Structure 1
Amino acid sequence: MLAIAAAVLFFIAFLINAADIATNDTFTSTNFMLIGLTVLALHVGGVGTGWSGRGRRR
């Protein structure tokens, strides 16, 4: 789920950059890219996967 959120943030950053949309300092394409990278790092780190670190017990 976090990977999908990261992809959406990257797409928004691409649209802002490609369309040359004038935004304020908060909603720049660089900020969206950095938030997307943070969400992607959380996804790769295993946050929000729902897996237990212990594994199954027999």
Structure 2
Amino acid sequence: MLGIAAAVLFFIAFLINAAGISTNEVFSSTNFMLIGLAALALHIAGIGHGWATRERGRGRRR
């Protein structure tokens, strides 16, 4: 889930940078990129991967 959020943040940063939109310091393309990198790092670390499904009955069914 955080991987998708990182992709969205990278896309917003790209749009701000490509369109040359002047924003204040909080919503700059660099800040969106850094937040996206943090979300991507958390995703790679395994945090926020969603719900894990448990596999019941590991034995073979007949």
1:39 is matched with which residue?
Answer: 39
TM-score normalised by structure 1 residue count: 0.84
Aligned AA (1:10): F
Q: How many residues align?
A: 53
The RMSD of aligned alpha carbons is 1.4
Q: Which runs of 5+ in 1 are unaligned?
A: 52-57
Structure 2: state its 5+ residue gaps: 53-57
CA positional deviation for 1:21: 0.0
Greater Rg over alpha carbons, structure: 2
Distance in 2, matches of 1:48 and 1:24, equals: 30
Q: Which runs of 4+ in 1 moved over 6 A?
A: none
| TM-score of the aligned structures, taking structure 2 as reference length | 0.78
